[in-house]
Amino acid sequence: MRINDETIDRLAHLARLEFVDQEKTKIREDLEKVLGFCEQLNALDTEGVEPLIFMSEEHNVLREDEIKQDITHEQALQNAPKKDSDYFRVPKVITK
């Protein structure tokens, strides 16, 4: 598939990007390579190949959730260097 400046301009507009002519040339080459690769993939015979849903055949490798004992506010705050009733006090990190 041939990519022209009109196609690049349309894609740039959709992506809210702006390109100079030198960049358009490089982008055109890259897009043609990507689309050429996609055409090669479309030409492959996938008859009898099951669709791949997951990259690994392992299922649910995560552990089961376990309910553990909760701690109280007092226990959570007992070692806090600064606290204000039920909250940790921390230095301001965002300034205007």
Could you tell me which of 93, 71, 76 has the C-alpha nearest to residue 85? Answer: 76
Whether 91 maps to a domain, the answer reads: no
How many structural domains are present in the chain? 1
Residue-range definition of the domain harbouring residue 26: 5-43
Residue 30 has pLDDT above 90, yes or no: yes
Q: To the nearest whole number, what is the mean pLDDT of the chain?
A: 88
Whether 37 maps to a domain, the answer reads: yes
Average pLDDT estimate for 41-65? 83
Whether 11 maps to a domain, the answer reads: yes
Whether 61 maps to a domain, the answer reads: no
Whether 13 maps to a domain, the answer reads: yes
Whether 74 maps to a domain, the answer reads: no
Which amino acid type is present at position 1?
M
CA distances from 59 to 33, 54, 55, 62, 66 (A): 36, 9, 11, 9, 19
Average pLDDT estimate for 59-64? 78
pLDDT at 12: 94
Average pLDDT estimate for 4-11? 92
Residue 37 has pLDDT above 90, yes or no: yes
Whether 84 maps to a domain, the answer reads: no
- In DSSP terms, 87 is beta-bridged to 84
pLDDT at 49: 87
pLDDT at 1: 67
